[in-house]
Structure 1
């Protein structure tokens, strides 16, 4: 419809509920409708940036692909990404140099996105030394979306002091820093994260909508909107609402199961009552739920689904996710062949049995990444997909958990960054190429360029050159 247009910030509004919209043709400038075929091809969609962090490194013998450039073979750990090979940039020989000293885990985690050296402290006087890359982007373009950025995780903030190394454990719970002394809190409860994007009305009041589906609450407005837009937008609205409802149902199912398991625990029951006014049909005790429910994978996937919904609805364009905290005791025995925690097993001391378990845990992480990327790839935005219009960084702050080594980090970059990346390659750089060169490149693609970022020496070359294979030794 050429004579009717809605603004990008328009929300579907229901009885005490809000639901962000996906990108629709009706949001494009009217000038694009002069030629409807051209409008689909030329319409601009925003670039999104996600960072998925894994705390304990990888089995170094099974991470690096064979071959360089387009002619590469996925390693055993990367096999779950086989369907997405053409969407990946595997980046070899990047280093976070300023994290080389100090303790192996806290220094690497807290400074993963800042490229700095954190201040050793056993108290709450945290000082990371810089603003993280994601927050630099959020501070510049976060005003364009409902949420400047979205920080997600699985485990609650760890407190206390690790006496072995003399660092506060708070450092191991954060990768996003809005200032050199201010970590950004992450949300680990999927219902609360959902509420931030798609929030229901007054909590527990006379007209409470806390126990109703947010999709049901906005259906009347959705029907009115669909009567004013074209068939393509109508189909997209239906698909989008179905996706939101699917996440709601999964959260509700997990909540009911968790409640039943906790019903005999008076401490948890009291907490359920306290939160009931806000999330009447959901409660997840993040400190215990994953262990007691035995469904860590579902918890992770709920958070990844929420990140995808946040990007699709343009609720935010910047998000981070922590698979776990530094020195986490999360037990991965739910995987066949694994007995113990990721952290414990990462200290393998070259024991073949532990190295095999280490690989299996890494493969599980890649499977979750593949789950998210495939979902993004299935969402169309004009002639591209949501994945095409995104940059998804996966990485760890150390290569081998046994050595705490910040050289040759395991780094993947997926997506096309809105056409500014040419994936489907393994790029091998000179040894000890600054990781922060990649961050500068990503910030430029987000429209938030910087002249310098920590130890960066320039932008990472070759990211959009299909013929580029790297500038280093082919031996990774």
Structure 2
């Protein structure tokens, strides 16, 4: 019979994993001249969808005619594929917009009782790469710190919203005092977890087999935390890359929707070119008030619930065309050739999509999905069954495999999506 122990004692003792020997720091990032370029992933979600009649062509294949929205991407036609008929199954949640939480995770029934989110696809890739780069991943959002990136415990990773702050993290060396404070924070993180290591043996003798399994899982998470601390410490001694770019200005007004999106997207090529990270996510959020865009008088969110009102649809088209124009500008930057003739876009899979296929009806099926770059064969519109959608997670499996993750499943997938 096992002696009962208090929850407080169990939690205090469960940090034992941090008494393990210090894990190895990751090797430094390398230059890529003459070497194979690393694979990269950029995931962008426009949380209010895209008006389907303005996006999807009537014909599929390579000979499709440009629609109103696709005209914004015309110069990149050979570099992207448009998909329809993709979605995550079982997305009926507590709130119609709860699918924002699951766009990158595919966890079912978001927001309902007992719901627990799962790891997002960007974090699977980031975990696989580890601290090969200074930052395993960068998470961005257009207005608030809410993001669509979730760790292995289903905990949301807060997003960065200020371009100047992101730029400083990536490229500006801190003062000696700032670096010392950072070292102190890392050391304190380790010391707190190390301090409970002596209770391991006693605790394991007191708990049942089922409890011991739970503790083992917790210890594994703590081991991961220790590795993160060690790797972060190692990067403090490596100089940040120098870039020929001015510190971006933060746009304080949420109504400057396109400006805020553009400033964040402008940072992505710099992140990838300097190999500061290989995994980036960006959430274009739902609430910015009335966008400061000529011809728009209503708020973006209410306009997405247009009720087939032609005036509201016209304003929505202006907003969404502007967002796609910013996406086009990102593809232009990624598509520029270096002095060695290479393009970041050829080694970077860029997914642009949404958690809603029809925002007017809060419908999470038939999602608008654009995949650009990544070395795939593009220039097509591929329509999957609109009544029996193909799992979007199938495409995620394909992206993970291209990133070097050895897997044939992710979340609700039932295979890998053939992109080429």
User: Which TM-score band (shorter chain)?
Assistant: 0.7 to 0.9
What residue in structure 2 maps to residue 276 of structure 1? none
Structure 2 length as normaliser, TM-score?
0.73
1:449 and 2:406 aligned? yes
> Take 1:50 and 1:120, find their aligned partners in 2: how far apart are those partners?
26
1:391 and 2:363 aligned? no
Q: What is the correspondence of 1:6-405 to structure 2 with a 5 Å cutoff?
A: 9=28, 23-25=31-33, 28=34, 43-106=35-98, 108-117=99-108, 120=111, 127-128=116-117, 130-157=118-145, 173-202=146-175, 244-248=243-247, 251=248, 254=249, 284=250, 289-291=252-254, 295-324=256-285, 326=286, 328-332=287-291, 334-380=292-338, 382-405=340-363
What residue in structure 1 maps to residue 383 of structure 2? 428
Instruction: From the two aligned structures, give the one with the greater helix fraction.
Output: 2
Instruction: From the two aligned structures, give the one with the greater strand fraction.
Output: 1
The alpha carbon displacement at 1:329 in A equals 4.1
DSSP-derived class of the 1:387 partner = helix
The alpha carbon displacement at 1:204 in A equals 8.3
What residue in structure 1 maps to residue 367 of structure 2? 409
DSSP-derived class of the 1:185 partner = coil
On the 8 A contact 2:408/2:416 being kept in 1, the answer is: no
What residue in structure 2 maps to residue 470 of structure 1? none
DSSP-derived class of the 2:352 partner = strand
On the 8 A contact 1:247/1:302 being kept in 2, the answer is: no
On the 8 A contact 1:346/1:401 being kept in 2, the answer is: yes
Answer with 389-398 or 442-451: which moved more. Answer: 442-451
DSSP-derived class of the 2:281 partner = strand
> Take 2:107 and 2:295, find their aligned partners in 1: how far apart are those partners?
37
On the 8 A contact 1:100/1:405 being kept in 2, the answer is: no
Q: Where does structure 2 lack aligned partners over 5 or more consecutive residues?
A: 1-25, 179-240
In structure 2, do the counterparts of structure 1 residues 179 and 331 end up closer, same or farther at CA, with 3 Å as the change threshold? farther
DSSP-derived class of the 2:54 partner = coil
Q: Where does structure 1 lack aligned partners over 5 or more consecutive residues?
A: 1-6, 11-20, 29-42, 158-172, 206-239, 255-283, 465-476
On the 8 A contact 1:56/1:401 being kept in 2, the answer is: yes
The alpha carbon displacement at 1:423 in A equals 0.9
On the 8 A contact 1:331/1:341 being kept in 2, the answer is: yes
On the 8 A contact 1:440/1:449 being kept in 2, the answer is: no
On the 8 A contact 1:126/1:182 being kept in 2, the answer is: no
DSSP-derived class of the 2:164 partner = helix
The alpha carbon displacement at 1:443 in A equals 0.4
On the 8 A contact 1:399/1:407 being kept in 2, the answer is: yes
Structure 1 length as normaliser, TM-score?
0.65
In structure 2, do the counterparts of structure 1 residues 247 and 74 end up closer, same or farther at CA, with 3 Å as the change threshold? farther
Matched pairs, number? 331
DSSP-derived class of the 1:367 partner = helix
In structure 2, do the counterparts of structure 1 residues 449 and 102 end up closer, same or farther at CA, with 3 Å as the change threshold? farther
In structure 2, do the counterparts of structure 1 residues 203 and 185 end up closer, same or farther at CA, with 3 Å as the change threshold? farther
The alpha carbon displacement at 1:201 in A equals 2.2
- Give the aligned CA root-mean-square deviation in angstroms: 2.4
Residues 350-407 of structure 1: CA deviation (Å, up to 9, x unaligned): 1111111111111011001001000011142844310111100001101111111111
